[in-house]
Amino acid sequence: MRFAILSRSDNKSEVIKSRVKQYLTDFSLEYDEEKPELVISVGGDGTFLEAFHTYKHRLKDTAFIGVHTGHLGFYADWVPEEVEKLIIEIAKKPFEVVEYPLLDIKIHPVDSEQYQQFVALNEVSVKSIDSTVAMDVHIKGAHFERFRGDGLCVSTPSGSTAYNKALGGAILHPSLNALQITEMASINNRVYRTIGSPLILPKHHVCELLPLYHDRSMLITVDHNTEEYANIDRIECRVSDEKIRFARFRAFPFWKRVHDSFISDERT
Ligand code: NAD
């Protein structure tokens, strides 16, 4: 089997990276950064997001696993002390795979048919640099609301425990092929009105965000990458046909992961 390791580059992560690389090579696995079947991220959730985006072009052929070298991560859920055990598990058998939904994002510019396409593991968020965000929200081709406020976040089920959760969104089990829209400080008064609740859309319901003022710059963040855009006609979000594949070497159910990340990792 071919594997690659992506580290956060701090001392601790680099030491673990070289240990894992050496052990797995000793077990006759091949280190291949071009076409890995297994990608091991060593660092935190940010490193895991980086690993996902590095290999998003070959999701069908790549499975991911995360070791954390800081505090417990949501994706990076193996502790450094378990690394030997993990190596033996990787070396000895074909692994099971668990698949989670992703989000497809298309940014369509004004006056052009050429759009930019992205895939998110956690979410896309749309904010403004210096003024209120004003966007029409369309769902399944129909106008739903005119949003004014700090911005909107559209998240995946596994991203629902990230930014979405901080915005008051629900935590969604990743067996649900869905996306969730959450508001950031919407303006609600007698003039402006938004739904005010997070919305959960099924796979075949496309959500489009249409900025009202094309000349105003917007900040669009896909997972951990932020870019500034102007002249956007619409941002199209839908549940992706592709999924992320997690290599599973032990049972770690989603709700236990949520419990251990947010409530306590002690059994009480
Ligand atoms: P980072 O690595 O510092 O991540 C920020 C925090 O989000 C970390 O504590 C990380 O463990 C946690 N996190 C990331 N994905 C998660 C998930 N799916 N479930 C639970 N926690 C998760 O910063 P970064 O590298 O810029 O990471 C970008 C991510 O940070 C974004 O995808 C976004 O979801 C998250 N974020 C969260 C907030 C917030 O909670 N207020 C604000 C901005 C961004």
pTM: 0.97
Q: Write down the pLDDT at residue 156.
A: 98
Count of residues making up the chain: 268
**Ligand 1 atom at minimum distance from 73 CA:** 11
Measure CA 54 to chain center.
Answer: 13
**Closest-CA residue to 218 (of 101, 125, 116):** 125
Taking CA atoms only, the protein residue closest to ligand 1 atom 5 is 46
* Structure confidence by residue, pLDDT tens digits, 160-182: 999 999 999 999 999 999 999 99
For residues 182-200, give the mean pLDDT.
97
Got the DSSP string for 191-233? S-----S-EEEETT--EEEEES-TTS-EEEEETTEEEEE-SEE
Taking CA atoms only, the protein residue closest to ligand 1 atom 40 is 163
CATH number for the domain running over 102-241: 2.60.200.30
**Which residues are near ligand 1 (CB < 6 Å)?**
44-46, 49, 73-74, 122-123, 158-159, 161-163, 166, 223-224, 261
Taking CA atoms only, the protein residue closest to ligand 1 atom 10 is 45
Taking CA atoms only, the protein residue closest to ligand 1 atom 3 is 46
Asked if the model's pLDDT at residue 40 lies above 70, the reply is yes
Percent residues over pLDDT 70 in the chain = 99
**Ligand 1 atom at minimum distance from 164 CA:** 34
The residues annotated with a catalytic role in the active site are 45
**Closest-CA residue to 147 (of 91, 208, 100, 86):** 208
Domain boundary assignment for the chain: 2-95+249-262, 102-241
For residues 224-232, give the mean pLDDT.
97
Q: Which of 10, 69, 122 has most ligand 1 atoms within 8 Å of CB, for mutation?
A: 122
Q: Write down the pLDDT at residue 73.
A: 87
* Structure confidence by residue, pLDDT tens digits, 119-167: 999 999 999 988 899 999 999 999 999 999 999 999 999 999 999 999 9
- Cβ pair 247, 63 in contact under 8 A: yes
Residue 268: band (very low, low, confident or very high) from pLDDT cuts 50, 70, 90: low
**Ligand 1 atom at minimum distance from 122 CA:** 32
Q: Write down the pLDDT at residue 77.
A: 85
Strand spans (E) along the chain: 2-7, 30-31, 38-43, 63-68, 76-78, 96-109, 116-120, 123-128, 133-139, 142-155, 178-186, 199-202, 207-211, 218-222, 225-229, 232-248
Rounded to an integer, what distance in angstroms lies between the CA atom of residue 107 and that of residue 229? 9
The CATH number of 2-95+249-262, from 3.40.50.10330, 1.10.10.60, 2.60.40.180, 2.60.40.1080, is 3.40.50.10330
Q: The dihedral of CA 221, 147, 172, 264: what is its sign?
A: positive
Residue 31: band (very low, low, confident or very high) from pLDDT cuts 50, 70, 90: very high
Asked if the model's pLDDT at residue 266 lies above 80, the reply is no
Tell me which residue has tokens 């940010």. 46
For residues 16-21, give the mean pLDDT.
96
Spacing, Cα 100 to ligand 1 middle (Å): 17
Q: Where does residue 205 rank: exposed (0-12), middle (13-18), buried (19+ CB within 10 A)?
A: middle
Spacing, Cα 114 to ligand 1 middle (Å): 30
H/E run at residue 89:
helix 83-92
Q: Write down the pLDDT at residue 129.
A: 87
